[in-house]
Chain A
Amino acid sequence: MKQEQFEHTFKADVLIVGGGFSGLWAAIGARRFVENVLIVDKGPRGWGGLGTMSGGDFQCVVRGQTKVEDALKDVVHYHDGLCDQEMIENILIQSYERFEHYERLGHLFLRDESGELKGIPQRGLKNMRMLLHRPYGAGGPSMATTLLKEVNRLGVRRIGRMCVTDIVKDENTGCVVGAVGYHTQSGYTCAFETPAVVLAAGAGAWKPSYLMSSSTGQGTYLGFRAGAETSHNEFVHVWNVPVMFGWEGQTGLLPLGARFVNAKGEDFMEKYYSPVLGSNTDVTYNCRGMAFEARAGRVPIYLDTTPMKPEDADIMRPERGWALNNFNRLQSDEGVKFFGEKTQWMPQVMWHSGGVVTDLSYQTRVEGLFAACRTRAIDPGVYMGGWALCTTAVTGYIAGGGAGELAKGKGRLGFNMEGARIACQEAMAPLGKEGLSPKDIMRELQEIVYPADVCLIKSEASLNRALERTKYVKQELAPRAAVEDPRQLAKLHESLSMLLCTELFVRASLMRRESRSGHYREDYPERDNENWLQWIYAAKDGKGEISLYPVSVPIERYKIKPHKYYMDNFTFPKS
């Protein structure tokens, strides 16, 4: 009909939004069922998303080493009971299949002298182990090359610099019939006709200027607008990072002797954690400790690497990839040696744990819409090393397979050109106008979420303040944002998804009147299983606004009845 509205139209059996590791794995999964699989990414065509910069550490329940049930117990414990056991069990089982798959494709993991896989236990959890790739820094790039080679072999189509802005559904059936978006450098509008879409757009985040600025919650945004539910809204992942520069390896540095110390030089976490865990604790809790130290005036916080043995420091010295360039330049230009000295550190909000709710085939409640990895909410604000890469592979593969199977059964559906046209018009509306800069909107949102009393030690008062300001951004500022060119339009769309994640996070944080896992309410510091062994879901109401509602964790159906809680390892000051 009005086809000429779109500069480019594409037909695919499965459309994958995001060409990170989740998207690449989804394509591999989808190709088992259908031929025409298309990946689009707002970044470059071949970059592989954040995984390319990652360490390549991979959580895996190694067959013959660990029992899935034991690992599941660990996760339920780690998540303080707020754990989708069926989904996690599935991930744990299939982690080994994807590990084997990686090795089959040529990416090999580290083994010891006897040929046994080297699994490093995480966060003091005996059965949650991550596999490594060496040399240090080469893991992510090697995985990326491996996956890209495989999708090329499979004839998967890939287009870069393409931003998807809306999912298109059939008016009568409500099923997915496609998507719309635009090419971010040319501004040409695009329509995608497809019966199945996999959202693999990464997590929500607030552009931390730390190798994660591409994650802004566009998966949540696309899913939410299409009518899917979201969950884990009240959780964010807070990571600890050097104040001035980027550094990865915290998970290895602490067990090898490095210590966080306060301004007085005290290993302050000793006050907060149980001796059982020692320094091998979850990052979120370390960060909470830092925030309490700051409150008591004992800042700056440092990471002190002087207690490390020289041979252990050698293990953690970057050898490849961005980390090596970074390390060299720190030494040459800034005189930072990193090892054998103290460096100022701080907590940094890294990504939103919230995401789209799916069934076990990773389909949302919208037929034809799937979500993988961090676009699918999995964790309550705690995070073990290697977990992301494990879930990209497992959930990406399942979601892609589900989408492929569905597409194969359905064949091509009619497209909703009118719906597509309206969605596209709305998306392109801020282009070519004068208005507020998206970067300023994002800065506002960072100022809302970053303060410690919003992301680490929450309270009714601080969250209400954050909510007021979020409303102001939503009602007064965001509608005034506009841009000159399509590249900036992509930033504007990022700011809109960031805004949605901010609102979901603040409102759900207010709603959860207890503390659990990554969510800590100073005014409700205790766990409340009676009322809050529940997830907080969010979905669009009739007016397109956010409606939040609790959904019980079906403990009666689950194998593991929670009885011990990771949070109980810590004692924080009560006011």
Chain B
Amino acid sequence: MLQEIDREKCTGCGSCFKSCGLDVFRLDTNQPSVAPCQWACPTGVDIRGYVYLLQQGKIRDAAEILMAANPLPALTGRTCHRFCEGKCARTKVDDAVNINALEQYVGDWVLGRSPEPSFIRHIGKIGVIGSGAAGMSCAYYLNRKGYAVTVFESEEQPGGLFRTAYPELASGVLDSQIDYLGKLGIVFECGVTVGDGREVTLEQLREKDYKAFLLAVGAAGDKTKRAVPPFSSVASITEDSLISVSPGAYVTSSKDVFAAGNATGGGNSVAHAIAGGREAAESIDRHINGWHLLEGRGDAKIRLENPPGAGIKSVPRLNRSSLTWREKGDQGFVFEEMLEESQRCMTCGSKAFAAFRDDCMNCYTCEMTCPEGAVVVHPFKENLPRTIPYETEGVR
């Protein structure tokens, strides 16, 4: 019978969990120290947590964890700079886990299902100006918190840079993503420019029961090409034509006006914009409920010291569309590829435990595959009914 797992020695690699024929082990991924991938991710997704769930095929639960930090995995799964993969501990064994493709898998899975509309619990509305990454992210989290959100977009179609900078998205997945957000209850008003002296002003919206705003209007990367955002009546605009916000709270000089994404200059990546939109949503919720904007936020995390790697068997990284029998067209992973690639994740820093010890059949596989010598199997079998019943005296 499985005897013990030394928690001190356990690095969380999941070798026992992955190899046990009787499925005796589970992992606890909820640990104070953060895996290198999560540490590197601008949105701070609990990657080991959701990939562990993917290892078990639990796509719905994985989506929940992933989308708690990044609501647009189908888009980031195609566009993100993969900050996580650059720091993946698996690079020391062979190649980084294809986190990006896993993320896309979850994202596509989510978009493939029709969501229930969120229940709107709040009376006041929120206006999100700009439908790029930051705008969609903020709209999503506010919608989840029960707010009626309208996204205003000056272009004819929503998506911001997703639509203009990534033509390959425009064909399908971007529309599905927007459709999905629409089904949640988020309203997109396109071809409408909001701002000082424009078709619609914030003042008019305030009169129509809008309680707060997010300015997520983006900005050209090159300062010389950048237009001054038309919000000087509500926010201070920097010399570089960016909207100035207070760090961490994303609030402008007006209490009910917030800003995120490229319009504020922060980070300049899809992931940074998503994180900004999410944090701004939190601030807006706090603002409306009259709470302190910063209290208890941004809890200090510890970085994992010794991730696994030594003694882990090399397994080739699976890239999209690598199975020969696949029908052409869809480039994302299918279920079995997702399972296979997710198993490469070493769930760094988790702790293994014996969840179903009484199913152990004494095969020693876990003990032999554990690279840290943390798992100990005791030679004695389960005490079963005997063919010849007699009391045993001692071990021998």
- Binding between chains A and B: yes
Which residues of A are at the interface with B, using a C-beta cutoff of 8 A? 8, 35-36, 43-45, 47, 49, 52-53, 155, 157-161, 183-186, 188, 207-214, 238, 243-246, 287, 290-291, 294, 299-301, 321-322, 325-326, 329-330, 333-336, 341-344, 346-349, 439, 443, 446-447, 450-452, 455-456, 487, 490-491
With A244-B392, A326-B379, A346-B386 as known contacts, state yes or no: A186 contacts B20, CB within 8 Å. Answer: no
Interchain CB contact under 8 A, A341 and B381:
no
Interchain CB contact under 8 A, B387 and A455:
yes
Residues on the B chain within 8 Å of A335, using CB = 395
Residues on the B chain within 8 Å of A155, using CB = 323-325
Interchain CB contact under 8 A, A452 and B388:
yes
Interface residues on B, range: 35 or more
With A45-B343, A159-B339, A209-B361 as known contacts, state yes or no: A446 contacts B385, CB within 8 Å. Answer: yes
Considering only residues 352-396 of chain B, those with a C-beta below 8 Å from chain A are 356, 358-365, 367-368, 376-382, 384-390, 392-393, 395-396
Q: What's the nearest-Cβ distance from chain A to residue B137, in Å?
A: 28
Interchain CB contact under 8 A, B379 and A245:
yes
* B interface SS class: loop
Interchain CB contact under 8 A, A210 and B387:
no
With A211-B361, A211-B362, A439-B358 as known contacts, state yes or no: A35 contacts B395, CB within 8 Å. Answer: no
With A209-B384, A349-B387 as known contacts, state yes or no: A214 contacts B378, CB within 8 Å. Answer: no
Interchain CB contact under 8 A, A161 and B57:
yes
The docked-state distance in angstroms from the alpha carbon of A157 to that of B337 is: 9
Interface assignment of B166: CB less than 8 Å from any CB of chain A: no
Residues on the A chain within 8 Å of B361, using CB = 207, 209-214
The docked-state distance in angstroms from the alpha carbon of A382 to that of B341 is: 43
Closest B residue to A12 by CB, please name it.
Answer: B325
The docked-state distance in angstroms from the alpha carbon of A330 to that of B59 is: 42
The docked-state distance in angstroms from the alpha carbon of A45 to that of B365 is: 14
Residues on the B chain within 8 Å of A347, using CB = 387-388
Interchain CB contact under 8 A, A8 and B325:
no
Residues on the B chain within 8 Å of A45, using CB = 339-340, 343
A-B contact pairs, 9 of them (CB 8 A): A209-B382, A294-B390, A322-B364, A322-B365, A333-B378, A343-B396, A447-B385, A451-B387, A487-B23
Residues on the B chain within 8 Å of A52, using CB = 365
The docked-state distance in angstroms from the alpha carbon of A330 to that of B396 is: 10
Q: What's the nearest-Cβ distance from chain B to residue A99, in Å?
A: 26
Nearest 6 pairs between A and B by C-beta? A186-B57, A322-B364, A213-B361, A185-B56, A209-B382, A245-B379
Interchain CB contact under 8 A, B325 and A157:
yes
Interchain CB contact under 8 A, A300 and B392:
yes
Q: What's the nearest-Cβ distance from chain A to residue B227, in Å?
A: 47
Interface assignment of B291: CB less than 8 Å from any CB of chain A: no
Q: What's the nearest-Cβ distance from chain A to residue B50, in Å?
A: 13
The docked-state distance in angstroms from the alpha carbon of A244 to that of B377 is: 14
Interchain CB contact under 8 A, A329 and B379:
yes
The docked-state distance in angstroms from the alpha carbon of A301 to that of B387 is: 12
With A44-B18, A330-B379 as known contacts, state yes or no: A186 contacts B336, CB within 8 Å. Answer: no
Interface assignment of B19: CB less than 8 Å from any CB of chain A: yes
With A214-B22, A322-B364 as known contacts, state yes or no: A35 contacts B384, CB within 8 Å. Answer: no
Q: What's the nearest-Cβ distance from chain B to residue A282, in Å?
A: 17
The docked-state distance in angstroms from the alpha carbon of A224 to that of B11 is: 45
